[in-house]
Structure 1
Amino acid sequence: MTTQDSRAETPTGVPRRRAPRIDEPVALGMPTVRGTSEVLATPAFDAHNPPSEELLDDCVHCGFCLTTCPTYNLWGEEMDSPRGRIDLMRAASEGAPLTESMVKHWDACLGCMACVTACPSGVQYDRLIEQTRAQVERRVDRPAKDSALRTLIFSLFPYPRRLRLMRGPLRLAQRTGALRLVEKTGLVRRVSPELEVMQRLAPPLGPRVEVPERTPAVGTRRAVVGMLTGCVQREFFGDVNAATARVLAAEGCDVIAPRRQGCCGALSVHVGREEEGQSFARRLIDTFEESGVDWIVVNSAGCGSSMKEYVHLLADDPTYADRARAFSERVRDLAEILVELGPVAERHPVGDSDAELVVAYHDACHLRHAQGVVTQPRQLLGQVPGLRLTEIPDAEICCGSAGVYNILNPEPATELGDRKAANILSTGAQLLVTANPGCLMQISQALERAGRPLPFVHTATILDASIRGERLV
């Protein structure tokens, strides 16, 4: 195995920093930390669901995770790799104090789960990092600025009605150019770089689109499906939800989208807000149990991943444990359910000319790695006439969105976004497709920074256009 030096580049010319070889010796066991590190709690973990010793012992430190870990690729730091973070978890589980350095390394993880896909030992890093972050959120008082930012995020994003109230003024600011003027002043950046990221990530807003509570199947009914409308998806990408409902209906599904549904809890669980995530999960289970559907269909990768894990999230709840298991078994990503059903609606070209349309598909991490949904979206895109699918180099590496990671950690997120944009542009694609709103916002910004924006749509949008005979490019 050759060592990659500091001059090495990705296939698209983006420099990589040198990372240690997988076969280089590393210090295992109790990690050492450069400099001082404040003790935040002793012992590090309490008795409520600490990282499982059995799950920790599954890691044999083989190093297969290193090349797929975004933060290890960025910094080449052992403690910012999955196995390094597992070492920190093990030390904490054995009674070491919780230190500021430990928290920083765990906070730096995107939770993309690329390591889960790469691991030959089946290490359940997804469960380990969620258990660890729940411990941190219970036991650590974060600095005032960080705490205020997190309070703002979780007082807004999981609540569609609050997002709706913000939507009108934001759309007005975009249409009048006021938002661009504020950006040019640099005022928001001086107050908070994180708030500036939130401002820039907002997609261009058109009229709000509401999905009907019931969309009847076209032709013979083949299934009755519930549809998660989401939070950011509902208020900022309502057209994607509308396209999703139309595609499902065209393929013979009665689509039920209960108006009273709320957040799935994915963002909360992702950063360790366990009780909050559980509360959202219980309410969503109640809602869809009452709707009498066969399946619950999700068009947002992060939400679908979290909903499939309710079985673990509510495992200790005697009232909801069995209901959560039954619920999780009925959750399907849009691509999954469409492939399971098989196509009945006719497809048409989506390009403006008779020439072949080159499309790049971006795998959202929580679809590719957490849910293992890889072939289905490609199979669906392959059904669109006149479309040629091209693969993106380093497709397994996260774009830097990762829930609210790009807000809480803007610098590494920006670097990862720029790398992803460069790899996408190297394909020569005319259209970019993904299945997650966070990825769409993150990569769109990176492409704008590169000065080469691309048309970028959700999987549901391109399928809907193909079924309806509309042209996208």
Structure 2
Amino acid sequence: MAGVRKVELGMPTLFGEEATVLARPSFDAHRPPSPELLDDCVHCGFCLTTCPTYVLWGEEMDSPRGRIDLMRSGVEGAPLTTSMVSHFDACLGCMACVTACPSGVQYDKLLEATRAQVERRVARPPRERAIRALLFALMPHPERLRVVRTLLRLGQRTGALGLVRRTGVVGRLSPQLDAMQALVPGLGKRESVPERTPAVGKRRAVVGMLTGCVQREFFGDVNAATARVLAAEGCDVIAPRRQGCCGALSVHAGREEEGLTFARRLIDTFDAAGVDRIVVNAAGCGSTMKDYAHLLADDPAYAERARAFSERVADLSEILVELGPVAPRHPIAPDGREVVVAYHDACHLRHAQRVVTQPRALLRGIPGVTLREIPESEICCGSAGVYNVLNPEPATALGDRKAANILTTGAELLVTANPGCLMQITQSLERAGKPMPFVHTAVIMDASIRGVHLVGR
């Protein structure tokens, strides 16, 4: 892993050489990193072994405490340089350091504030600016993704997409675009969720369901399974058709105003839906939606509504464990034989939301399932929102590391709770020549409830 080269932002020079000043001072007066939160870091080093970029490069400035030092220098008036921005950009935002920190450093809040400053104050190189513009013109917009999906499916069915990949022309044009096309999953018929799915048997709750953006268009089967599972457990499921993006990708990338606009619209949509809880089946989305109270704290029109909204948000595994099972579970293999399952923790579920025991409890409740833990489960797989597109080289190294650890478990089925992880790890396992069935938590729960076999003999 030490051989993975770190590329500086917009710099033809090698790492460690003189950097260019981009802004002076580093931060403006609008919500800079909090000095009080920065002072919580005591440089103990507990974060180092869980930080993906420190594990890859062993570089202090690519560790959480190193980045905190850079933030502190910016708060104290130092100029923002290309080198500083490259270290901030290299962070996956996985929040493993937050879980590891004994001092309770809120690195998530610090990184979020820093990235918003960078996006406002830095004019990125033209090619990088174009890639980011393309990503955010597509990813948070389900209607546009639907058009892209249709074209990609056509390309897969005709073989045109495979032909383009074999020519290598996209990779020569842009490593980022090459990474995007490599992540595209196999696409079948698009599945959608009805606006209302009635509870099976006695109604126990009325829940709203986030259908998402990438989840909605590229993993419609996951949404369909989510609705069926919730209904089987006694929930009326409301999936408002007018809902849009939750803002997670924008917020994590520092596109503050864009993310807040999405957040306000989603609050409006679900407030009008009349639901008890809002259920999310994508870890990054759930993390951001639970943080709306913080994100909109300065908005007098939405601060209180955001707080009430965030309190109603739950991951699918949380709500299922809270409710307790009423639908019977069946084995997921013929003749009820034992199936070894490995569960991959999505970072924004494990570290940001601290949802760890609930998914495992659900899997252990399936007859015949033996759950195996993945070594280095706290280390990110390299997906991290759009990180694997913007930073394909380190993302690939982390994905390969994750695949190698998964293969040591001897599992024949892999489960996770995030679409980005599904795409990233599937690609890594294929690259290792050891593809493995990989499903969302909702899909395995749905199969067990309906008596569908996910694995053969």
Query: Given the two structures, how large is their TM-score scaled by the length of structure 2?
Result: 0.96
Cross-structure match for 1:47: 29
Q: In the TM superposition, what is the alpha-carbon distance from 1:177 to its structure 2 partner?
A: 1.4
Q: In the TM superposition, what is the alpha-carbon distance from 1:353 to its structure 2 partner?
A: 4.2
1:37 aligns with 2:19: yes
Cross-structure match for 1:61: 43
Task: Tell me the SS of whatever aligns to 2:97.
Answer: helix
Cross-structure match for 2:12: none
Q: Distance in 1 between matches of 2:329 and 2:62?
A: 46
User: Could you tell me which of 141, 160, 184 is aligned with 2:166?
Assistant: 184
Q: Distance in 2 between matches of 1:114 and 1:166?
A: 33
Provide, for residues 258-290 of structure 1, a one-character-per-residue CA deviation record: whole Å limited to 9, x for no partner: 000000000000010000000000000000000
Q: Provide structure 1 residue ranges, at least 5 long, that are not aligned to the other structure.
A: 1-14, 19-32
Cross-structure match for 1:21: none
Amino acid at match of 1:433: V
Alignment of 1:383-394 (within 5 A): 383-394=365-376
Provide, for residues 93-124 of structure 1, a one-character-per-residue CA deviation record: whole Å limited to 9, x for no partner: 00000111000000000000000000000000
Q: In the TM superposition, what is the alpha-carbon distance from 1:175 to its structure 2 partner?
A: 1.4
Is 344-353 or 361-370 further displaced after alignment? 344-353
Q: In the TM superposition, what is the alpha-carbon distance from 1:16 to its structure 2 partner?
A: 6.3
Task: Tell me the SS of whatever aligns to 1:220.
Answer: coil
Cross-structure match for 2:10: none
Alignment of 1:105-144 (within 5 A): 105-144=87-126
Q: In the TM superposition, what is the alpha-carbon distance from 1:168 to its structure 2 partner?
A: 1.1
User: Could you tell me which of 233, 237, 240 is aligned with 2:215?
Assistant: 233
Task: Tell me the SS of whatever aligns to 2:341.
Answer: strand
User: Could you tell me which of 111, 114, 130 is aligned with 1:148?
Assistant: 130
Q: Distance in 1 between matches of 2:144 and 2:335?
A: 42
Alignment of 1:6-25 (within 5 A): none
User: Could you tell me which of 357, 369, 382 is aligned with 2:351?
Assistant: 369
User: Could you tell me which of 342, 347, 350 is aligned with 2:324?
Assistant: 342
Q: Distance in 2 between matches of 1:296 and 1:161?
A: 22
Q: Distance in 2 between matches of 1:17 and 1:230?
A: 37
Amino acid at match of 2:414: L
Cross-structure match for 2:449: 467
Q: Distance in 2 between matches of 1:34 and 1:171?
A: 44
Cross-structure match for 1:201: 183
| Percent identity over paired residues | 77
Cross-structure match for 2:283: 301
Q: Provide structure 2 residue ranges, at least 5 long, that are not aligned to the other structure.
A: 5-14
Cross-structure match for 1:168: 150
Task: Tell me the SS of whatever aligns to 1:61.
Answer: coil
1:289 aligns with 2:271: yes
Provide, for residues 139-191 of structure 1, a one-character-per-residue CA deviation record: whole Å limited to 9, x for no partner: 00000000000000000010000001111111011112111111110100110
Q: Distance in 1 between matches of 2:139 and 2:211?
A: 14
Task: Tell me the SS of whatever aligns to 2:272.
Answer: helix
Provide, for residues 268-325 of structure 1, a one-character-per-residue CA deviation record: whole Å limited to 9, x for no partner: 0001000000000000000000000000000000000000011111111010011000
1:420 aligns with 2:397: no
1:267 aligns with 2:249: yes
Task: Tell me the SS of whatever aligns to 1:291.
Answer: coil
User: Could you tell me which of 114, 119, 139 is aligned with 1:157?
Assistant: 139
Query: Given the two structures, how large is their TM-score scaled by the length of structure 1?
Result: 0.93
**Conservation of the 8 A alpha-carbon contact between 1:296 and 1:330:** yes
User: Could you tell me which of 336, 342, 349 is aligned with 1:360?
Assistant: 342
User: Could you tell me which of 434, 437, 440 is aligned with 1:458?
Assistant: 440
Amino acid at match of 1:376: Q
Task: Tell me the SS of whatever aligns to 2:140.
Answer: coil
Cross-structure match for 2:9: none
Is 425-434 or 171-180 further displaced after alignment? 171-180
**Conservation of the 8 A alpha-carbon contact between 2:2 and 2:57:** no
Task: Tell me the SS of whatever aligns to 1:349.
Answer: coil
Provide, for residues 320-367 of structure 1, a one-character-per-residue CA deviation record: whole Å limited to 9, x for no partner: 011000000000000000001000000000013442100000000000
Q: Distance in 1 between matches of 2:219 and 2:56?
A: 31
Q: Distance in 2 between matches of 1:269 and 1:308?
A: 13
Q: Distance in 1 between matches of 2:3 and 2:344?
A: 24
**Conservation of the 8 A alpha-carbon contact between 1:17 and 1:76:** no
**Conservation of the 8 A alpha-carbon contact between 2:206 and 2:275:** yes
Q: In the TM superposition, what is the alpha-carbon distance from 1:51 to its structure 2 partner?
A: 0.4
**Conservation of the 8 A alpha-carbon contact between 1:133 and 1:271:** yes
1:276 aligns with 2:258: yes
Task: Tell me the SS of whatever aligns to 2:44.
Answer: coil
Cross-structure match for 1:380: 362
Q: In the TM superposition, what is the alpha-carbon distance from 1:34 to its structure 2 partner?
A: 2.7
Amino acid at match of 1:363: D
Amino acid at match of 1:338: L
Q: Distance in 2 between matches of 1:156 and 1:77?
A: 34
Task: Tell me the SS of whatever aligns to 2:415.
Answer: strand
- RMSD across aligned positions (CA): 1.0
Q: Distance in 2 between matches of 1:354 and 1:305?
A: 36
1:252 aligns with 2:234: yes
Provide, for residues 224-274 of structure 1, a one-character-per-residue CA deviation record: whole Å limited to 9, x for no partner: 000000000000000100000000000000000000000000000001000
Aligned residues: 445
1:408 aligns with 2:390: yes
Q: Distance in 2 between matches of 1:190 and 1:121?
A: 46
Q: Distance in 1 between matches of 2:149 and 2:156?
A: 10
Provide, for residues 397-445 of structure 1, a one-character-per-residue CA deviation record: whole Å limited to 9, x for no partner: 0000000000000000000000000000111100000000000000000
**Conservation of the 8 A alpha-carbon contact between 2:400 and 2:428:** yes
Q: Distance in 1 between matches of 2:159 and 2:240?
A: 36
Amino acid at match of 2:419: P
1:211 aligns with 2:212: no
1:433 aligns with 2:415: yes
Q: Distance in 2 between matches of 1:16 and 1:360?
A: 27
